[in-house]
Structure 1
Amino acid sequence: MKQEVMEYTIDEIKDGFRFEEKDKKYICNHCGREFIDGEIHHIDGRFFESRLAVKFHIKSEHHGQFSALLEKENKYLTLTENQIAILRLIYKGQSDNEIAGELGVSPSTIRHQKFMFREKAKQAKMYLAAYELVFGEPTAAEKLVSIHNSATMVDDRYITTEEEGEKIIKTAFSSLTPLRLSKFPVKQKKKIIILKKITELFEYGKRYQESELNEILKKVYEDFVTLRRYLIEYGFMDRTKDCTEYWLK
């Protein structure tokens, strides 16, 4: 399962994957693909141990971690198109003069932008240090349920503690294995928690035909059309224009 950005460490964001100690597996942050530690993985005609396998996977399937970060639809990465273009060229190892020539600006403009990048990084570090000193590690009664990165209209509806979320799930579902929903709630906050739970039935990176999606949702709740509509509306899933294929965002 994919996590929300606040649940990753800086190194995990930079690497594009994380290691789950409990289950001894490496997990791709972008699509959720798992690589069990100790296994040998066959990818594109080559064999890799788990840590190298997930790195190769990110390189081949997501065009490398740097590109994946910049291309990913993420409300937290607030960079302009010009800034992204400059970062790409710096990452390629081009000089200030080369970047300026390619973008049609002066070298001093590029030097100024690099200075601003460094200043923004300093601000981010100071903010993170202050945040961690103030909030520390919250308890289940304080820790908020993570907001999925593709969430739409983020507001008070998303402010739910993990403790509250567990209570909602216990009362809303008559069974968790298999997943059976008793009643779809009216309150928006409860809808989000329930929809988030339902997304666990789907695989990241996989596309589902509408009929296939309907069959999965129908087993959870008889009004599968309502579930499907809200999964799209709240940004948990996306679909093609002709509504023939659906996938997790």
Structure 2
Amino acid sequence: MSADLTARAGLFRALSHPARLSLLRLVWTREASGDELARLMNLAPATISHHLAQLTEAGLILTRQDGHHRLHRAHTAALNLILADVVRGATPAPTPDDPYRDRVLRAFLKGGRLTTLPAQRKKKDVILHELVTLFEHGRHYPEAEVNAILGDVYADVSTLRREMIGLGVLNRERGVYWRPEADADPSSPGDAG
């Protein structure tokens, strides 16, 4: 079986348990710690950890350290895949287990903040692809909101915006930003600028 088929099957395995679907629903719009999720779902923390690990392995949950707590949120970009495309293989399943990507993220993201923007293009692209997951597909953001989201990660938001637009992972027109869809959305207001 190819690695791509294995990754796609893993996506379905991760979604096949009712508790994991409930967890995703709880962290869809806001972050939550494992303890909070255990209380909300009335499950043991160890059970929640097990389910979170399954979702993280499939690339459906993003986790960041905040002081003594690990906060979890849905990886909405990975969850916005179209089922038919996943089955056909037109859209790759999330691949969270890329060792190079993991090393770059560990080296440059500490406690949910970007320590510095890498100078090397390949590393910078890994960071930018990770940061764009902070934005939902199909949603348009005013520049002030983009600045607030990116400002939580890195002080130089104008450089991040410019780099993300240059890479093509974020579009902009007249102070409005959006993530480009895999196939162009005719309702998006024009090209990147």
TM value normalised by structure 1: 0.38
* Higher relative contact order, chain-length normalized (CA < 8 Å, sep 6+): 2
